[in-house]
Structure 1
Amino acid sequence: MNGRLLRPRLGVIGGLGPLATADFYRKTIEAVPAASDADHIPLIILSVPQIPDRSRAIREGSDRPLPWLIEAVAMLNGLNVEIIAIACNTAHHWYDELARGSEADIVHIADAAIAELQRRYDGGRVAVLATRGTLSSGFYQSRLREAGLHCANPSRPPFQLAVDEAIHMVKIGRLAEARAACAAAFQSCADDGLGAAILACTELPIAAEGIVPEGMQVIDSTLALALECERRLRGTASVRNAAI
């Protein structure tokens, strides 16, 4: 076979972490109103769990993950994908460098998540549940400001400690503990009167399954990314939304 029958349209940089990538793949499948296998998006997942820790690199002022990410983008471009998704929020700290070197458009996960939030929430204050690296990078805060919204995370230390714990527990497969930590983070948001939150780490939608507080608008960044990829490739995913 010369390969011309096998052309993935979507390239996914994953493994950051592996369970979060599996969650993205599942949500990409569920976004398609498919009547048969052939209706689904042909895609390739490049899972590289060895890419250096993104959050730590940002907090240390290092670009250690960047050469790995550049190589991953180049590999997917070599397969002639139409668009690229990065199933990791924190890696979008390097989005501009990656996008400049890519022939395929790279879908920005924060743009997808905030667009979904705007469709469902007309308030101003939003919690961004994320790694410390993502928060330090500031790309969510700047995009929220451009959208007329404001990142207003609870300032008390237990909030971010609970978010950190939820992310870590998903990464090591301890999901019951991840959900308990995520519930604590949600409680901090509720105590501060926040009516909306973005799960801005791809581990967090896994931790949040079944525990989203009633009355809080919670946006799943993983699902938002999957829906945006589907919209760009088929224009059919508007039948769903990315709120949990």
Structure 2
Amino acid sequence: MKSLTIGLAAGINPSVALALKAELIGVGARNDVRVNVVTSEIEMRKDAPDARIELGDRKIAALESVIELERAGCDEVVVPDVRCEPFFDEVQTEVEVPMVSLYRGLPAALEAAGVRRIGLLGVAVDREFFVKLLDGTAEVLELSDELKALYRTVQDPETGLRRTGLTPEHKAALLKAAEELLADGAELLVTACGQMARFVPDLKAEGLPVFDLLRDTAERAVLAPLARRPKPFKVGMIGGLGPAATVDLYDKIVKATPARNDQEHFKVAVEQNPQIADRTACLLGNGTDPTLAMFNCARRLQEDGCDMLIVPCNTAHAFVPYIERNLRIPFINMQQVTMEEIREKFGDAARIGLLATAGTVKAGIYGKKAEAMNLPMFTPDEAHQERVMAAIYGPKGAKAGYTDGVCREDLVSAVEYLVTTYDCNCLILGCTELPLILDETDDFRVAGKTVSLIDPTSALARRVVKEAKKAEAERGVR
């Protein structure tokens, strides 16, 4: 026997949820499907001071309920509240679990029955919603203002159907409303009220042609279950290493993305933690180990649904091997993608100069990759390495907010040393603060030569965009 787990956002509309649960189980039993119903008891706030805030409360309660049911492993979710139908797509966009709409089956049902004119029993959902839903395939009639006022007594939260059930007085009001709509030419009555939908069998017993909203919803959910929506790509960034480098990487990702509008960019989550201990100090033996702080950021990003992780700090990559093995999602390695771009661009002619923190140089996170690729790599002597460190950490350095003046002079001196001493033709700006001082270019003039400056941050941004496009194409997101 096939099994299906369906979630109900019961807390928003408990009585309708109970009726729909019975329909779901009944449809399953009649069609050899074991239906397991899981409920969310999240309720909507009842203290809204105006209609707009009440709408916001309803939307948030619906989304919170659906998220809870998604985490519970449901195959599909139904929000049994007709007032949520106008913003159905807003909720569905935020989750991957497929949601079964209450009214999306109506157009097909009308077409199958040859119905061209419907009458709305209720005022919880306005006529404009149904006009848009039916898109001209059927005329939509609504109650007169007089009967709308009468019908609102049926919907009253204290004395209406929700609290009392179908009393003789309510039944009389409903019959009067139905008679008016049928007299105006309605061929089928549609309940524009969730509470009303509970009593469709009673109305049918009176001989009224009423669309069975809950039965239709249950049959679509059970007999034609929806596929899970594709997950949009989401990259997680461990930020704050340092703050300016984080902004720089995010800016480069945005600029590298071929998007025509906001919605064509992909999702980026930043866990900004500037309090992570200095990575260079740790590698040089006189600082706190940042591994746990970095891992905790990565873990939160993983739980937030990220597919891959990035970190806008070269030196921090020395700690990635300890972190990545304890996660379910991978890092995009900044050094690896940089070295791959250099090999693609220069081939065996590459002579690489590395400008980086002393910690990065000591950890060999670039040097080991260059060696594995048989690419020659050179680093500054002690005096020029001190000037690179000053460009990064000095009182007039990039971490202090400076990008010109003394810090630029220090960095250019190291570039000149590597070019004149080792005939380097490409230089890696191997600390994410350094591209804030010198831009990536293939036309940097120094010591009478033209060399390339390689920005690992830009290389990482380009790879992130490539991975995002690949993943979303494979998943059919766009």
Q: TM-score, normalised by structure 2?
A: 0.47
**Partner Cα separation in structure 2 for residue 223 and residue 235 of structure 1:** 18
Assess if the C-alpha contact under 8 Å between 1:121 and 1:217 holds in 2.
no
**1:63 to 1:150, Cα distance in 2 relative to 1, 3 A:** farther
Kindly report which structure 2 residues correspond to 1:38-77, keeping only aligned pairs within 5 A, or say none. Answer: 38-60=263-285, 64-77=289-302
Greater Cα offset, 158-167 or 134-143: 158-167
Assess if the C-alpha contact under 8 Å between 2:350 and 2:425 holds in 1.
no
Where does residue 207 of structure 1 map in the other structure? Answer: 437
Note the C-alpha offset of 1:43.
0.8
**Partner Cα separation in structure 2 for residue 136 and residue 46 of structure 1:** 27
Where does residue 33 of structure 1 map in the other structure? Answer: 258
- Deviation digits for residues 25-82 of structure 1 (CA, Å, limit 9, x no counterpart): 0000011111111111211111111100100101107661011011011110110101
Letter in 1 for 2:304: L
Residue 136 (1) aligns with residue 380 (2): no
Note the C-alpha offset of 1:125.
2.7
Where does residue 413 of structure 2 map in the other structure? Answer: 184
**Partner Cα separation in structure 1 for residue 464 and residue 305 of structure 2:** 16
Assess if the C-alpha contact under 8 Å between 1:12 and 1:84 holds in 2.
yes
Kindly report which structure 2 residues correspond to 1:39-188, keeping only aligned pairs within 5 A, or say none. Answer: 39-60=264-285, 64-122=289-347, 123-155=349-381, 157-168=382-393, 169-177=397-405, 178-188=407-417
Letter in 2 for 1:171: K
Where does residue 230 of structure 1 map in the other structure? Answer: 465
SS at match of 2:269: strand
Note the C-alpha offset of 1:179.
2.0
Where does residue 240 of structure 1 map in the other structure? Answer: none
CA-atom RMSD, angstroms? 2.1
Note the C-alpha offset of 1:151.
1.8
Greater Cα offset, 10-19 or 168-177: 168-177
Note the C-alpha offset of 1:217.
1.9
Note the C-alpha offset of 1:199.
1.1
Where does residue 5 of structure 1 map in the other structure? Answer: 94
Note the C-alpha offset of 1:154.
3.3
Percent identity reads: 26
Where does residue 219 of structure 1 map in the other structure? Answer: 454
**Partner Cα separation in structure 2 for residue 67 and residue 142 of structure 1:** 24
Letter in 2 for 1:184: S
**Partner Cα separation in structure 2 for residue 213 and residue 35 of structure 1:** 32
Note the C-alpha offset of 1:116.
1.1
The answer to which structure, 1 or 2, has the higher relative contact order (CA under 8 A, 6+ apart) is: 1
**Partner Cα separation in structure 1 for residue 355 and residue 412 of structure 2:** 12
SS at match of 2:427: strand
SS at match of 1:43: strand
Residue 23 (1) aligns with residue 112 (2): no
Note the C-alpha offset of 1:146.
1.0
Note the C-alpha offset of 1:196.
1.2
Assess if the C-alpha contact under 8 Å between 1:186 and 1:213 holds in 2.
no
**Partner Cα separation in structure 2 for residue 145 and residue 175 of structure 1:** 32
Q: Which runs of 5+ in 2 are unaligned?
A: 1-62, 68-92, 96-231, 472-478
**Partner Cα separation in structure 2 for residue 147 and residue 63 of structure 1:** 32
**Partner Cα separation in structure 1 for residue 414 and residue 376 of structure 2:** 18
Note the C-alpha offset of 1:201.
0.7
**Partner Cα separation in structure 2 for residue 87 and residue 124 of structure 1:** 25
- Deviation digits for residues 87-139 of structure 1 (CA, Å, limit 9, x no counterpart): 11111111111111111111111001101111211324311111111111112
**Partner Cα separation in structure 2 for residue 131 and residue 228 of structure 1:** 23
Assess if the C-alpha contact under 8 Å between 1:12 and 1:46 holds in 2.
yes
